[in-house]
Amino acid sequence: MEYFEPKSVGDALSLLSKHGSEAKVIAGGTDVMVDIKFKEEPGCLVNIKKIPSLTGISESGGSVRIGALTTIRDIETNAVIREKLPVLWEAAHQFASLQVRNTATIGGNICRASPSGETLTPLLVLEANAILAFSDGERSEPFKSFFQGPGKSAAGVKGLLTEIEVPIPPAGSKGVYLKHAVRGAMDIAMVGIAVMLTPDAGKNNVQDVRIGLGAVAPTPLRAPKTEALLRGKPLTAALIKEAGALAATEASPISDQRSSAENRRWIVEALTRRGLEQTWKAATGKEVA
């Protein structure tokens, strides 16, 4: 196995162009090291951790920019994330264990493109963008079109995720990330759901709502029919019930060792209801009518 430590994004891209699908990018390593041990060694390992420009969190012009090599722990302990992007903070806080959070990077969690990736549904409901570098230039890809299947993303084999650009949600909106797993720590979600809700000025109706579903389809996904059902209406108990049932139909879960598909649909229904109740109450100060 060949091994490289590029010092710049340009050098990393040259290596990826040269080695193509033989090359594997490694950052924190918490997933890739397991693959190397239990699946197969790549032909060439490209360790991007020596590229200094890819780490850090900054806020400007209504957005937060997060370098792809920023660790999950650095996201969890960052004051801007806690205050401006609490839905992402919640996912970081529930991510694996402290040891893994100290090593794993947000870029790795994203490029792994696992349907259960903890940070992915929050990024979907935040309508964040992946900043991707290719040898012929940079482009911004919304996360709604970034994920193409388990382990497959718009970065492909020759692109590099360098940054995540997250628009700060409008004042008055509230988000929540709900994870259902057997164990609190170190467990993969059976279902993970992110909900972001913005009430209208009078706090009487849902102005905007975004629902992200994780671990219930080949990619994390939004629930557009459920969102459309809710927009412009007051959030009543009857509407929440209808929304939960509709969200369950927007998922296409599989049965595996963690859960049956049927159970996953029930959990989608329950967590969607819970997420709507919690965000409505937090955003309006009112109980659901």
Partner 1 sequence: MSVTINTTINGKAVSASAGASTSLLEFLRDTLEMKGSKLCCNTGECGACTVIYNGKPINTCVTMAADAIGAQIITIEGLADGDKLHPVQQAFIDTGAVQCGYCTPGFIMSVKALLDRTTKPTPADIEEAVSGNICRCTGYNKIVDAIHLAADKIAGRA
State in angstroms the smallest separation of the CB of 108 from partner 1: 11
State in angstroms the smallest separation of the CB of 57 from partner 1: 17
CB atoms near residue 4 (< 10 Å): 18
Return the number of the residue (49 or 274) whose C-beta is nearest partner 1.
49
- Per-residue exposure over 78-105, b if at least 16 CB sit within 10 Å of its own CB, e if not: beebbebbbbbbbbbbbbbeeebbebbb
State in angstroms the smallest separation of the CB of 111 from partner 1: 16
Largest Cα–Cα distance in the chain? 62
Residues that bind partner 1 (CB under 8 A): 1-3, 5, 26, 29-30, 33-34, 36-38, 41, 45, 47, 49, 73, 96-100, 102-103, 184-186
Return the number of the residue (21 or 99) whose C-beta is nearest partner 1.
99
Return the number of the residue (186 or 238) whose C-beta is nearest partner 1.
186
**Three-state DSSP class for residue 30:** coil
- 58 closest CA partner among 117, 137, 131: 131
Token pair 């060792």 in the structure block, residue: 257
Query: What angle is formed at CA 119 by the lines to CA 114 and CA 122, rounded to 5 degrees?
Result: 115
State in angstroms the smallest separation of the CB of 4 from partner 1: 9
State in angstroms the smallest separation of the CB of 22 from partner 1: 14
Return the number of the residue (35 or 127) whose C-beta is nearest partner 1.
35
Is residue 88 within 8 Å of residue 125, measured between CB atoms? no
Return the number of the residue (100 or 217) whose C-beta is nearest partner 1.
100
Tokens read off for 171? 């004042």
Return the number of the residue (94 or 121) whose C-beta is nearest partner 1.
94
CA dihedral 133, 102, 109, 16 (to 10 degrees): 40
Token pair 């059976």 in the structure block, residue: 190
State in angstroms the smallest separation of the CB of 188 from partner 1: 10
